[in-house]
């Protein structure tokens, strides 16, 4: 699963396929390995499929609104039953998404940050491994890329073991890592270092929004972090070592068998 001649070309139709996930590393797959090796390997072997959540569908709905009118209408048609109530009107989550979409569309600066080509696919070899990515928006004229992210509150803080401190939602969900990898992949394809931005919008009653940039020094940490993890991940992915179970995700809980007791104090540490 390292560099090689791939049997099929990566396209928008097969980008999310199991076959392409086996052939390529991606930011989402990397994050899945970090979260739980056992679940990720079960997925790659075709033994487990992550259920589609309501939050994921709402996120896709919001993204489709900025991709194209055709994509948005197609998404609505394909997910009509999840979006609309039988008695008419949209479910609350989608009404909220419409407010978020309207808030961004009424903001010229936010819309400029999302100008460019949509859903572009790129591949590159990083850390000795073939990667794929699909960019929300890339502007070749101004050499920037942007990614739309929705969140509960753009100013909410989270505790992070990775960064050993309080962080924003962008660090909490590894969006710095995502943009650092995208930036490196695009550099290999174009010869230019593009500037990445996050266009953030909140799920509050009155949506808040921001266009977020990254200090250059943040990328160096993410590259070091990714490189340090890659050998272990590829050994697991290639079947050279057994995957470790996190013990906490839905997949691991479904496979869990009790073989003893634990003391109260172990509840916040035990897997």
Q: Please, how many CA atoms are within 13 Å of residue 241, restricted to the half-sphere of its CB?
A: 10
pLDDT at 269: 74
> 171 with 163: CB under 8 angstroms?
yes
Of the ranges 1-5, 9-13, 166-170, 192-196, which one carries the lowest mean pLDDT score?
1-5
Cβ atoms < 10 Å from Cβ of 12: 10
Q: Is the pLDDT of residue 82 over 60?
A: yes
Average predicted confidence (pLDDT) for the chain: 93
Q: What percent of the chain has pLDDT over 70?
A: 97
pLDDT in tens, 185-233: 999 999 999 999 999 999 999 999 999 999 999 999 999 999 999 999 9
- Give which of 172, 140, 155, 139 is closest to 210, Cα–Cα: 155
Residue 34 belongs to what H/E stretch? helix 27-35
Q: What is the CATH number of domain 18-51+107-237?
A: 3.90.320.10
pLDDT at 7: 54
Mean pLDDT on 255-269: 89
pLDDT at 29: 97
Widest CA span in the chain: 62
pLDDT at 268: 81
Instruction: Please tell me the distance from the alpha carbon of residue 44 to that of residue 38, in angstroms, as a whole number.
Output: 10
Output DSSP code: residue 25: B
Domain boundaries, the chain: 18-51+107-237
pLDDT at 88: 86
Q: Is 0.85 surpassed by the pTM of this model?
A: yes
Cα radius of gyration rounded to whole Å, the chain:
20
The CA–CA distances, whole Å, from 255 to 31, 39, 50, 252 equal 21, 10, 15, 5
pLDDT at 53: 83
């Amino acid at each position: 699963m390292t560099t090689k001649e791939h049997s099929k070309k990566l396209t928008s139709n097969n980008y999310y396929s199991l076959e392409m996930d086996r052939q390529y590393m991606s930011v989402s797959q990397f994050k899945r390995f970090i979260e739980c090796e056992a679940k990720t390997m079960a997925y790659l072997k075709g033994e487990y499929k992550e259920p589609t959540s309501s939050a994921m569908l709402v996120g896709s709905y919001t993204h489709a609104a900025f991709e194209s009118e055709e994509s948005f209408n197609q998404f609505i048609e394909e997910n009509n039953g999840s979006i609309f109530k039988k008695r008419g009107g949209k479910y609350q989550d989608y009404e909220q998404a419409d407010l978020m979409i309207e808030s961004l569309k009424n903001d010229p600066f936010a819309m400029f940050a999302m100008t460019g080509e949509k859903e572009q696919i790129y591949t590159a070899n990083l850390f000795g491994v073939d990667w794929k990515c699909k960019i929300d928006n890339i502007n070749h004229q101004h050499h920037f890329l942007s990614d739309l992210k929705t969140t509960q509150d753009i100013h909410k803080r989270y505790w992070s073991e990775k960064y050993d401190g309080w962080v924003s939602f962008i660090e909490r969900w590894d969006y710095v890592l995502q943009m650092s990898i995208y930036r490196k992949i695009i550099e290999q394809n174009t010869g230019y270092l593009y500037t990445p931005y996050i266009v953030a919008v909140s799920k509050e009653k009155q949506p808040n929004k921001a266009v977020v940039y990254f200090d250059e020094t943040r990328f160096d940490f993410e590259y070091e972090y990714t490189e340090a993890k890659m050998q272990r991940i590829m050994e697991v992915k290639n079947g050279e070592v057994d995957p470790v179970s996190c013990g906490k995700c839905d997949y691991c809980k479904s496979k869990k068998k009790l073989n003893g007791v634990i003391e109260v104090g172990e509840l916040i540490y035990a897997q």
